[in-house]
Structures are given as structure tokens and as C-alpha cells.
Structure 1
Amino acid sequence: MVRELKFKMPIALMTSSLLMLPLDGIASEAIESEIDLSFRYRVELVSQDGIAEDAEASTLRTRATIKTKWRPKLDSVIEFDDVTEIGMDDFNSGQGTSPTRGQFPVVADPEGTEVNQAYIRYSGDSAKFALGRQRILIGNQRFVGGVGWRQNEQTYDSFTVNSGAGEFKYSYAYVYNVNRIFGESVPAGDHQHNTHLVNVDYKIGKGKFSGYYFAIDNEDAVGLSNNTFGIRYQGKAGDFGYIFEYASQSDAGDNPNDYKANYYHIDGNYNTGNFSVGAGIEVLGGDQTGGQGFTTSLATLHKFQGWADVFLGTPTAGIEDFYIKGGFKLAGADIKLFYHDFSTDEGGVDLGSEFDLVVTKKFNKHWAGLFKLADFSSDNASYASRDKMWFMLTYQL
């Protein structure tokens, strides 16, 4: 199969700028390059109430990353991803990427070959500056992340600054385009932005205090534009770890909704190394009068509120997720279990519950395997019950 490899204008401009660098200084120094190659094969099976057919997806992601050091403080990265269906293709890859397969549940891994990253970076004595297509992973990725679970990663055409001194770290990003998981062949795959992301971390003893401000102006999906202020503290006392987080959000840009909503997260975890147990509550507030709930459109959403991906969008009444979790090691494998109970923030309406399980094992420095399942059950007509199962094998050269 031959695919068209697409370059958007910001990438071309960045490449041209790189080629115009003075070569007299570079020629006198050795240029170092390395290539990383990895493969990730995955089978995903989905059974969902209300959809007659079950989804069966078998996909392989091939990734090649070229890293070049031009000068001691100047480097670049260009990374290519290819997602190919192998065998089973009875699934809807979402957002119009598979128009003849709408009878199946969604498995959001469309085929395609794209530039995943392409940026140039200058590393100064106290700060790093990067321009181009790149990953932006802030904190635990609850608000800004790469959606790394999906075969096609979310990356950002952006200018970034990362700085730090001692216990203090600061990051800033100006984002002008978000390359979403659906690829560039459909409108939903690219969202133009005029977005500013600011995050500050400060270590205090065994804990870390974070403050953030995200001014998201999505010019292609204006309902996702908002301003978010938040603070987070993650600490540890012996074998006990805890998280406290609060954020406030309101509409911004051309968002047609006039809303305000809050976010709360409290988590406690006891971990001895081979065994862990914990519980927490996460609330994405609602504003039914304003017409929108707390929105995290740039997040790695699969990490939160259950792996069945039922709540990728927040209901206008908000959502409250009470969860318990546990984990242990067995025969060299890591096993983790979660139970979630979901209800609306406003009104306390029951939305359903979910059980999640994941088993991961690293066989050697090259090979790793994963088995994962999610079982979501609901009597609420708005949220269909569903089961999902994954088998995954990765190889890193």
C-alpha cells in the first residue's frame, strides 16, 4: 500500500530554517545522528450494547525517529509513524476515517503515515527552546498530553520553552496547531489553535507543588475554547502517597457557551513496592445553566475515568468518579486493577460503573507485552454498556 506523506507549512518552514544555518561553524564539528526504530502490534476487541456488530482491530504501528546533534547546543528530531491494519479490520476508526465501517464500534486507530515530530531545539545554560511539531506532556497529562495509548499520537505544532533552576521548573508553550489522533486525512485530525500553556513546578521535600494556566483558543472547534487555572500538590509520607488538586475553568475565545466549572481530585495510595492499594475521587464540575461541563480537550483522556473511554466528553451536568485501585507483582509481571463508580456532579444521577485490569511484562530490553480489559456497565440510556479487550506486543531496537 502506498500512502501520501503529508507535510504542513510549519514543518516545511522549520526545515528550511535549519538548512539555512551557517555551515562554516557546523562543518568544523562532527554532526552526530542516531535512528531509533520501534514496533507496536495490538489487537483490540469491542462489544457494545446497541451496536449489532463487534469490533475486531489488528494494527501495527511502526515508528522511526531520527535525532541529529548539529552543534553542542543545537539538535533536531524528526519522527515518522505508520499505522497499518493487519488481518482483522472490522472496526470503525472514527471521525469519518473509515466511512464504510460505521456498523462497528469505534477503535480510534486509523491507517496512515505521518510526520509525528519534526522540531529544532536550542539548549541554553538554563533553558531549552524548541520550534516545530513536538510532544507536550504536562504533569500527569490530565489537561495536556499526547494520547500515547492510541496508535497515532497527538502532537503539537508549537514553540516551547522549558527552564529550571534547583527545585524550580517552568514550561511555556504557544500552540498553533494540534495534530490529533485521527490523522490529517479528515478535518477532525487537525485543529488550528491560538493557545498558551504555562506550568510551574516546585519541589518541596518529598512533594511537588504545581501551578498552571491553560488559555485554549481552538479556532476549528470553538466549543473547546476555555481558560483554566489550577494548583496541584503531590506528596509522600513513608509508603503513603497523596494528591490534592483544584482547578477553575471558564469559557474563552469564540465559545458560544457562557459557563464556569471547577475540578477537584483527591487521591491516596499505599505502596510497598510489590503491593499497592488506594482510592480517590475526581470531579469534573458541571454547569447545566451555562451549557457545558469542565472540559479537558487536550488531555490523554484514556488514562482517566476508565479505559472503556465512555466519558471522553464531560456531560453538561459534570461527572464524579469515585475509584478504588490495587496492584501487585507476580512472576515478573505487573498487575493493576481499578473499580470506578460514576455519577453526575449536578444532581447525582447514576452513570454506571467500570472494572479495569491490566497485566504488563517486560521480557527483555527489546520485548514487552500487555493484556488489558475494561468492563463498563450502565442502566443509563445515554451510556451504553461495553466490554473492551487488548493484546499488545512491543519491540524496541
Structure 2
Amino acid sequence: MSNQFKKNLVTACVLAATSTGIYASDNTDISSTIDLSFRYRIELVDQENIVEEANASTMRTRATIKTQWNSKFDSVLEFDDVTEIGMNDFNAGQGNTPDRGQFPVVADPEGTEVNQAFIRYNGDIAKFGYGRQRILVGNQRFIGGVGWRQNEQTYDSFTIKSKPTDKLSLNYAYVFNVNRIFGEAVNAGDHKHNTHLINADYQLDLGQLSAYYFSVDNEDAFALSNNTLGIRFAGKAGDFAYTLEYASQSETGDNPNNYSADYYLLSGAYQQDNFSIGAGYEVLGGDTSGGQGFTTSLATLHKFQGWADVFLGTPVSGIEDLYIDGTYKVNGFNFKVVYHNFSTDENGSDLGTEIDFSVAKKINKNLSVLFKYADFSSDNVLYSSREKTWLMLTYKL
């Protein structure tokens, strides 16, 4: 995204927000709201192949200005600031903290940025958005916002969202820049794109059927360019919920690898009001001869394949994840535990196991607290064992 475009877009949104106060008395159609939130987090990392332990203490402050101009037009302007508070013995990743290379990575660099800045037209059949936006497709397995990190991933894009019937939703996005979690201070913080994202959801009596086509053309990281075509069904039968998904992927753009890989997901869960137990089998296929495995570079990766974030990139030989999870709610506390067993797709080599645990509680309408722990264990020389611990407080005004 060019600097001039950023300046023009932010200026337009600032004028949109500030002018609300000037003209609200003359035009009652115009209204504006300001939301403010704070997210403080401690993250501790003990990684086997790194002598030092990471100790990170960061605060994210977010201010969001939403302006409704009339029944058709609205705009959003959102700023994020990430600040280190106290403990800063961690590597923020991708060259953000070159003097801290002796520590494990905690990808929460300091900085102040425009997280969102877009205008939107709300038509009778479709909504059209332009600017820096949050794009979340389905469960974010392929396209997401990486909302767990303090600096969110957003997209400079043109979007169309349509709901022609009560059961059918259609979405399209053209993405020309991805604002990644590493921030604008380093080159890895922005990736130029010529990317098209298309997905559709249809509600059936038995569940939701989804289809998608993602043509990701990354002009800064060629190996991340690919075409993905997939279908997903998420249904429910009584107290049993299940999901079936398949996708096929191959290279596109200037990707130097000539590969083809498949994605499979089969999961099920038994659900009651206060607890659930389930299992799943997820495969991101490999193509050793083609030089690349199934790639999900725009996903919210922290949600999948373990919270220790060991497998942010798919091995060339692919990865299989067999997992069991359970949740339990009592007295306002939400408990979750997950067990993962990882192996390669092509030859079944053992990659390790992981246990994840979390407990969350909403203290009141403004304040919530989360404790989270991940323990990855492996004898594979390519994937070192590690433990991660988080304590997070979120306050919303």
C-alpha cells in the first residue's frame, strides 16, 4: 500500500469522523461512536534449543471510530498501539528487535498503526467496502486476521458482500496489500498482493455448505502464491456436530515450485449446554517432488495445529494432526483442553505431540481474563520442544 494512498485514506476517515461532530446538529442522519479497548498480556516461552527464556509484557490499546453517514454509507477508522511494559526479554521477530536474537520469538512488536480505515456502501443487495479492512472467511483456516497477536493482520482491499436470499451468502475480495502482524517498521510487515478471494455459504436443513476459491498472488514472497479450491460442510444431528472439508491447491504467479497438495478435515463433537468432547483429523498434504506442502499463509494459524505455533509453515512432506478436545463451563469459567498428535503426510514420520489448556472468565461486561498454556514435545531434530504460558486481561469501555 503506497504511502500516499495511506495518507489519503486516513485523512478521509478522520474528516469523516471529526465532521460528524460539526454537522450532527444539522443532519440527524449522521452519527458516530468511539470504542476504546485495552489488552494486556504476559507471554512466557521456554524453548529447548534456545538457552534464554522469553518474557514478554505488552499492552495493546485500540481506538475505533465508526461513522454512519446515512442509511447507505458508513466508515471505520481504527488505531492500534502496542507498547512493552516491564518485561521485554523476547525476540519480536522478522528483525524488529535485532539486539534480542538470543530469545525465543514472541511476535508482538511495539508500534502504532492504522489497523482499519475503510468506507462502505450498504446497498439493498450487496455491501461494497474499500480500504484497510478485516477479512475473516469461515473459521479463518485459510483467510483470517490473526487476532491472537497484539498487532492484527488486516487487508488493503475492495470487498463485496451479498446475501441474495436468506440462505445464500456470496463474498468477494480483491486484496492488493496485506498488513501483517510484524508491523510496518520491517519489510516483512507488508506483502504486496494481486489476490482474489471468493467464497459462498448456503444454509441447508442439515447444516451449512460452503465453497471457496482463493487465488493468492503474493508479489513479495513468491512461494506463498497459490490457487486453492475447496468445499466444506458443517452439520448437526441432535447433540452431535460434525464437519467435512476438502480442498486442492497448486502454485500460481511467480511461485518457483511446481506442486500440488490436498487438504482434508474430518471432525465431530458431542455437545451439551455446559460441556463438549470431540475429535478431529486434519491433513495438509505434502509434495516432496514439487518442493512444497499445502500452504495457508493468510490464515489465523494460532487457532490450528496447537497453540505453541510450531507448525506455522507446512513441512514439504505435509502434516497430519489427530486431535481430541474438550470444553467445560461452570460458574462463569470456560475450560478447554486439547491433545494433538502430529506426523508427516507422505511417510508418516513422527513430529511430536502437544497438550493445550486454557481457562477464561468474564469478570463483568467490561473486563475478562484468560490463562493459557501449551506444551509441545518432540524427538524430531527439526522441531524443538517448548512450553508457552499466557496471562491476558482485556478491558473494553
Q: Does the pair score TM above 0.5?
A: yes
- Indicate the residue corresponding to 1:9 in structure 2: 4
Separation in 2, partners of 1:340, 1:73: 47
2: CA distance, partners of 1:14 / 1:168 = 32
Secondary structure of residue in 2 paired with 1:71: coil
How far apart in 2 are the matches of 1:389 and 1:28? 51
Measured in 2, the distance between the counterparts of 1:172 and 1:330 equals: 40
**Structure 2 residue aligned with 1:120:** 119
Q: 1:290 Cα deviation (Å)?
A: 0.2
Residues 274-299 of structure 1 deviation map (CA, whole Å, 9 limit, x = unaligned): 11100010000000000000000000
**1:296 equivalent in alignment to 2:301:** no
Task: Provide closer, same or farther for how the CA distance between residues 7 and 250 of structure 1 changes in structure 2, counting only shifts above 3 A.
Answer: closer
Match for residue 263 of structure 2? 263
* Mapping of residues 141-152 of structure 1, within 5 Å: 141-152=140-151
TM-superposed deviation, 1:28: 4.4
How much has 1:140 moved relative to structure 2? 0.1
Instruction: After superposition, give the CA deviation of every residue in 1:200-253 in whole Å (9 maximum; x if it has no partner).
Output: 000001400000000000000000000000000000011100000000000000
Match of 1:331 in 2: 331
TM-score (norm 2): 0.95
Q: Structure 1 residue 331: deviation in Å?
A: 2.7
Q: Output the amino acid matched with 2:329.
A: K
CA distance in 1, matches of 2:297, 2:132: 19
Aligned to 2:315: 315
For structure 2, the residue ranges without an aligned partner over 5 or more in a row are: none
* TM-superposition CA deviations, 1:343-393 (whole Å, max 9, x none): 000000000000000101001100000000000000000000000000000
For 2:382, give the aligned amino acid. Answer: S
Q: Which residue of 2 aligns with 1:58?
A: 57
Structure-to-structure mapping, 1:234-273, within 5 angstroms: 234-273=234-273
- Which residue number corresponds to residue 107 of structure 1? 106
Question: How far apart are 1:9 and its partner, in Å?
Answer: 3.1
Separation in structure 2 between the aligned mates of residue 36 and residue 105 of structure 1, nearest angstrom? 34
Give distance in 1, aligned partners of 2:84 and 2:150: 11
Q: Quick one: distance in 1 between partners of 2:52 and 2:121? A: 51
The answer on 1:224 being equivalent to 2:219 is: no
Q: Which residue pairs with 1:389 in the alignment?
A: 389
The one-letter amino acid of 2:35's match is D
What is residue 276 of structure 1 aligned with on the other side? Answer: 276
C-alpha distance in 1 between matches for 2:134 and 2:375: 31
What is the rounded CA distance, in whole Å, between the counterparts of 2:248 and 2:108 in structure 1? 32
Distance in 2 of aligned mates of 1:234 and 1:107: 34
Read off the aligned partner of 1:250 and give its amino acid letter.
S
Corresponding residue of 1:3:
none
1:67 aligns with 2:62: no
Please tell me the residue identity of whatever aligns with 2:377.
Answer: S
**Structure 1 stretches of at least 4 aligned residues deviating more than 4 Å after TM superposition:** 15-20, 25-29
Deviation at 1:17, TM superposition (A): 6.3
Q: Which amino acid aligns with 1:174?
A: Y
Q: Which residue of 2 aligns with 1:357?
A: 357
Distance in 2 (CA, whole Å) between partners of 1:146 and 1:224 is 17
Structure 1 distance, partners of 2:381, 2:221, is: 27
Q: Deviations over 1:109-165 (max 9, x none)?
A: 000000000000000011100000000000000000000000000000000000002
Partners of 2:124 and 2:29 lie apart in 1 by 21
Which amino acid counterpart does residue 3 of structure 2 have in structure 1? K
* Cα distance change, pair 102–15 in 1 and its aligned pair in 2 (3 A): closer
Cα drift, residue 7 of structure 1: 8.3
- Cα deviation, residue 273, structure 1: 1.5
- 2:172 corresponds in structure 1 to 172
Q: Distance in 2 between matches of 1:359 and 1:59?
A: 20
> 2 CA distance for matches of 1:8 and 1:154?
18
Contact 2:10–2:77 (CA under 8 A) maintained in structure 1: no
What SS does the corresponding residue of 1:12 show, helix, strand or coil? helix
Q: 2:108–2:181: 8 Å Cα contact kept in structure 1?
A: yes
Tell me: CA distance 1:361–1:7, structure 2 relative to 1, closer, same or farther (3 Å): farther
3-state SS of 2:7 partner:
helix
Conserved 8 A contact 1:7-1:115: no
Contact 2:235 2:242 in 1 (8 A): yes
One-letter amino acid of the structure 1 residue matched with residue 5 of structure 2: P
Contact 1:10 1:132 (C-alpha < 8 Å) held by counterparts: no
8 A contact 1:136–1:145 mirrored in 2: yes
What is the deviation of 1:15? 4.9
Identity of aligned residues (%): 66
Q: Tell me, in whole angstroms, the C-alpha distance in 2 between the residues paired with 1:61 and 1:172.
A: 30
1:48 is aligned to 47
Aligned equivalents of 1:384 and 1:307: distance in 2? 15
Q: How many residues align?
A: 389
SS at match of 1:141: coil
Q: Distance in 1 between matches of 2:358 and 2:43?
A: 14
